[in-house]
Structure 1
Amino acid sequence: MYHTLAFEDASRAADFIAEITARPEHLPRPQCQSLQVFGILTHGSRADPRAQRHRFMLPTKPKRPITSNILKSLIDLFPDTIVELSLHFWNVLSLPKKVLETIGRLKNLRALRLGHELQERAQALRERDPMLFPFYHDSDDEEFHEEIRQHNQRIAFEGMLGHDNFDNERAPDDMNPVDSKIDHDCLKSLIKATRKLTSLNLTDLNPVCLATKPMKLELACHQFLAITQLEISLEGESAFRLLDLSIILKRTFKVLALHDHWGGWVDTHGAKLVPVFENLGENLEGLFITNKSFLSPIIKFKFPKLQVFKTVFWKGSIAEFLQNPILSSSPIEVLALQSEFIDTPKEQKFRVNPFANLPLLRRLILYEANPTYVLPPAYLHACKSQGAELIYIGHLDSSNVSLFMSL
């Protein structure tokens, strides 16, 4: 039984596949709950070996990219036990039909994470270096999508002829890396195929590469989607695409985690989030944000089911922050604050208990807390007066949205 398996090199993955498939039939089938596959290359130029290493690491032998056939074979090993699937791509996020069908057959898949390589591994991300980060050009390009369609069609035809050869398979290299994009049809097919999926994480897609046209799915598909939790990065001015998702997921949606690591997107485009929250607000139970500016355009919104709220920064004192209608009028039960940014009161005690505006508060979570961290006495007294339990969470679990929702 494997809890987690991670692959980033085709040679190692092929060896593992060969080892498992060669096992005698009388032995029990292997099991894996979480499968993580990095360095997937199904379209576009082979990854630059220099981009496969952190700039401070010693030179190492370049890894062979994972092909679609290898990915399919890895997933086929664990059709009944995979609960979490994480896929990270070089260049284009694109999968042929046979791989999409394989993922769709996973009986217990509940969490899907999709992303690109090198999201935060170098300063080039901030500089939008097109040689390393060719994902910002997100225009509607029919020629590109036709190229993707023909490429996947060739793969499907070769598969029917039995030409699935790990050693000879290679991605097409006739694509300009500056124009690398997302196969939008692939992403839509993934959402439709994984009907039992409850958590979708797109934070490592940069930008959120959904179609610039409205992302229309059949009405029947909406009725079968089960996604309740969405994690997404807003770098790349992607509110329009997020709005499409909010429409698609409105019926089942409960938890939204928004990331803006560099802090610039929300300051400029935060108002574009208003229709997203108008769509999701009625059923929203958990809201996770990394930038205080997320709240500015929706500060007076009222979310009747919002129980869990997590943030990093806030304006003014904690008491003033919790007086905002978005929080004071919501049934907040769990409040999560980053330990590093807790503001120590100027006096030994608060003049007013800051948590008095959250009458249903039962837990205060301090995340990214070091083992030696101690909450200021005024906060300890305020928690005790409110009857709220104090919970510390370390760096390792600070991004685990499901964990926060379970507390």
Structure 2
Amino acid sequence: MAGILELPNELFDQIFQHLISGTPDQRSSAVSASASYRITIASNLRLVCRTWADWLYEHHLYRTLTFGEASRAMKLTTYLRRRSQFLPRARCQHLTIRGLCVWEASEHPIEREFITCRILKRLIETFSDTIVTLVIRPLHFLVLDTRTIKAIGRISNLCDLQLEGIQWHGAESVLGLPPSDPNYWFNCLMGATQGLKSLRLASFVSLRFGPQLPAITHLDIDISFARPDTIIGFAIALKTTLRVLSIRGNDISRFDGCHLLEAFTHLDGTLEVLSLTAEHLKAPILDLKFGKLRVLKLHTWHYPITDYFSSVMFSYSPIEVIARSSSIAQWVEPTFPADPFVNLHKFKTLVCMNAPLDFSPASTILSACKAHGVQCVFLDHDDLSAIMVR
């Protein structure tokens, strides 16, 4: 019989994933395991034997990296470049840059710790064949030079790009560059990242339709940092590929139902997963028929959910999964109908997000779920990727 030290790598990886998950009942999302906890477990297991040490070094020790200081980034890249090529390689799949400075830092002690585009490029080159997710949070504003854009474009396996800064339209004057289209760098970046599948934005940028766009299937956009024409432009440009749309933020003062209606009209035949707040669900959007909508996630819900179940959107869309906050699911709705799910012909799963261990939804909801054979699932997170597979 094989001993534990002779386990196949695939089985050992499953054991490791179980150890870092933290909970045995699978209420937690896989992403809930913090990088520091993962590193601690991996470091301890590396002491067992050389085989485990090499495998964990290559696959888990540097899997998630976050840098906010230039010195840490430089020390790591210098160490890895000097490491023997005959030893296992460090692999980073998720790289986060906090406080990217788009100008060259001065010799001031504080500025010397800024992560510049030059250091970002160095990190990217170190892990160019392993990075899957790249998160960039700028120090002040987000403008990328041509060399940085080309470096990002050379990340062979990049699938998920998250730009979490606000672009300042006066960036050119600070950088000493001639005035240019503030969206130019962003569209150049989109043209360079042809393998991109997921894009998360909290930035004042617009996407232009063109033949060189990547086939993005998942768009996550913060409505607080977007103009109405921005969302419409993304919907038009990504109409043929977009399957998952997340709209965050409650600042909808600059939006009305007509603005979002125009965007959703371009996606009503292809969208499969929609994540938003109830405030975005206003007429005439509720009159749209989403022919392929399977999952609906609601961040907040200030009105009885059953008020909307008779609308065209709920009645004619093949919705199978509805996810809502556990705190909202505990409310006893005063006008709860006898059969709230009568129009939801495909409804299979009600997900209660961010639920504590002792959580239980209102009895009226439980009774309605039981009557229709709808499964109630309680999660201690609101991770959309985990909800989508329900």
Q: What is the TM-score with the length of structure 2 in the denominator?
A: 0.76
**Is the counterpart of residue 39 in structure 1 residue 111 in structure 2?**
no
Counterpart in the other structure of 2:342: 356
The secondary structure found in structure 1 opposite 2:352 is: strand
Aligned amino acid, residue 287 of structure 2: K
CA distance in structure 2 between the partners assigned to 1:266 and 1:321 by the alignment? 22
1:5-154 matches, within 5 Å, as: 5-43=65-103, 64-116=113-165, 135=166, 145=172, 150=177
Within the candidate set 311, 314, 333, 1:324 is matched to 311
Instruction: Give the superposition deviation at 1:23.
Output: 0.5
Deviations 1:23-70 (A, max 9, x none): 112112211111111110014999xx9xxxxxxxxxxx8882101111
Are the structure 2 counterparts of residues 301 and 91 from structure 1 closer, same or farther at C-alpha, using a change threshold of 3 Å? same
The answer to whether the 8 Å contact 2:278/2:302 transfers is no
Deviations 1:266-286 (A, max 9, x none): 575443112111111211111
**Is the counterpart of residue 255 in structure 1 residue 244 in structure 2?**
yes
Instruction: Give the superposition deviation at 1:236.
Output: 4.0
**Is the counterpart of residue 221 in structure 1 residue 202 in structure 2?**
no
Aligned amino acid, residue 311 of structure 1: L
The answer to whether the 8 Å contact 1:8/1:63 transfers is no
The secondary structure found in structure 2 opposite 1:113 is: strand
1:279-298 matches, within 5 Å, as: 279-298=266-285
The answer to whether the 8 Å contact 1:228/1:253 transfers is yes
CA distance in structure 2 between the partners assigned to 1:241 and 1:317 by the alignment? 31
Aligned amino acid, residue 377 of structure 2: I
Are the structure 2 counterparts of residues 316 and 78 from structure 1 closer, same or farther at C-alpha, using a change threshold of 3 Å? closer
CA distance in structure 2 between the partners assigned to 1:301 and 1:286 by the alignment? 15
Counterpart in the other structure of 2:185: 186
Instruction: Give the superposition deviation at 1:357.
Output: 1.8
Deviations 1:167-203 (A, max 9, x none): xxxxxxxx9xxxxx9942221122111111111001x
1:298-337 matches, within 5 Å, as: 298-314=285-301, 316-337=303-324
Counterpart in the other structure of 2:355: 369
CA distance in structure 2 between the partners assigned to 1:360 and 1:232 by the alignment? 28
The answer to whether the 8 Å contact 2:70/2:112 transfers is yes
Q: Which runs of 5+ in 1 are unaligned?
A: 50-60, 117-134, 152-174, 176-180
CA distance in structure 1 between the partners assigned to 2:369 and 2:122 by the alignment? 52
Instruction: Give the superposition deviation at 1:22.
Output: 1.2
Aligned amino acid, residue 115 of structure 2: I
Are the structure 2 counterparts of residues 346 and 325 from structure 1 closer, same or farther at C-alpha, using a change threshold of 3 Å? closer
Identity across aligned pairs (percent)? 30
Aligned amino acid, residue 359 of structure 1: H
The secondary structure found in structure 1 opposite 2:63 is: strand
CA distance in structure 1 between the partners assigned to 2:111 and 2:174 by the alignment? 28
1:229-248 matches, within 5 Å, as: 229-248=218-237
Q: What is the TM-score with the length of structure 1 in the denominator?
A: 0.73
The secondary structure found in structure 2 opposite 1:332 is: coil
The answer to whether the 8 Å contact 1:292/1:312 transfers is no
CA distance in structure 1 between the partners assigned to 2:261 and 2:271 by the alignment? 14
CA distance in structure 2 between the partners assigned to 1:352 and 1:63 by the alignment? 65
CA distance in structure 1 between the partners assigned to 2:150 and 2:69 by the alignment? 23
The answer to whether the 8 Å contact 2:227/2:254 transfers is no
Deviations 1:129-150 (A, max 9, x none): xxxxxx5865xx7xx6587684
RMSD of aligned residue pairs (Cα, Å):
3.0
Q: Which runs of 5+ in 2 are unaligned?
A: 1-58
Are the structure 2 counterparts of residues 101 and 250 from structure 1 closer, same or farther at C-alpha, using a change threshold of 3 Å? same
The answer to whether the 8 Å contact 2:348/2:373 transfers is yes
Aligned amino acid, residue 195 of structure 1: Q
CA distance in structure 1 between the partners assigned to 2:223 and 2:343 by the alignment? 30
Counterpart in the other structure of 2:52: none
Deviations 1:75-100 (A, max 9, x none): 11112211111111122212222221
Counterpart in the other structure of 2:37: none
CA distance in structure 1 between the partners assigned to 2:384 and 2:75 by the alignment? 34
The answer to whether the 8 Å contact 1:199/1:230 transfers is yes
CA distance in structure 1 between the partners assigned to 2:103 and 2:283 by the alignment? 40
CA distance in structure 2 between the partners assigned to 1:45 and 1:272 by the alignment? 41
> May I ask how many residue pairs the two structures share in their alignment?
329
